Amino acid sequence: MALPSYATPLERTWYYGFRVFCGLVFIFLITPILVIIPLSFNAEPYFTFTEAMLGFDPDGYSLRWYEDFFTSDQWLFSIKNSFIVAIASTFLATALGTVAALGLSRPEMPFRSTIMGLLISPMIVPLIISAAGMYFFYARMNLTQTFTGVVLAHTALGTPFVIITVTATMVGFDRNLIRAAQSLGADFTTTFFKVIMPLIAPGVISGALFAFITSFDEVVVVIFLAGAEQRTIPIQMWSGIREEISPTILAVATMLVIISVLLLVSLELIRRRNERLRGIAAT
């Protein structure tokens, strides 16, 4: 939104000062992430910038740590597990979260606020407490050190994101469309897939992406529940920092940053598409 020509000096000062402040906060938050990227190309096994790197000497840069990642059985095994767990938990979280959001969006739903608070509690409760509780609960069911236990735990952590995004999408949903479909003879399944799902799809996809990111980056719950066969990328990075510090971790972190940026860009494109579908001008 552009500053109007009739703005007072105080309004202009606030307008530009606020944007400068936000820019400084953004730089403060993003700088540690940006430092990782050039360090991942360090030719030497250090976590600091060498003289060759600071002097932009080509010999100071190398792809050796990326090569080490793609040739390491441990790293490839970990990333395979991460994708398996993240994809499986995303499908479960998306299905459960969408159904829950549809139920919570109904005006006749009793105790909606209480149920909503319970469903999104994994986002509020400290993760270490959730992980400890899941460990004791899953241990009784013999689900520790199994893919099933890790997937179910990540599903519980990702479902609140789906509920929130789908519920937000349902705020402007016109229920007269459901009544119109039912009056024309459509059953519930047809109404859901032909009327409801196309309209809430942006929220569902956004929630699924959030659930995927949550699962792919999760480390605390995996420490409690996973065994050697369920070792994921975050656990491999954590172990690498504790046992053998290697710049390969920086290469992996850089690739994870790129994946996160691509997912965030996808979310923004979905948001803009949702605005166009609703007839709202994108800002």
Q: What is the largest CA-CA distance in the chain?
A: 74
| Residue 29 confidence class, pLDDT cut points 50, 70, 90 | confident
Q: Domain 73-245 carries which CATH code?
A: 1.10.3720.10
Instruction: Flag whether pLDDT at 107 surpasses 60.
Output: yes
Mean pLDDT throughout 215-241?
Answer: 85
CA distance 275 to 272: 5
Mean pLDDT of the chain: 83
- pLDDT reported for residue 274: 67
| Residue 38 confidence class, pLDDT cut points 50, 70, 90 | confident
Handedness of CA 140, 142, 126, 92 (dihedral sign): negative
Q: What is the DSSP string of 18-82?
A: HHHHHHHHHHHHHHHHHHHHHHTTBSSS-SS--HHHHTT-GGGB-SHHHHHHHT-HHHHHHHHHH
Cβ pair 82, 233 in contact under 8 A: yes
Instruction: Flag whether pLDDT at 283 surpasses 60.
Output: no
- Going from N- to C-terminal start, the domains of the chain cover 9-60, 73-245
Look up the pTM and report it: 0.79
Cβ pair 250, 40 in contact under 8 A: yes
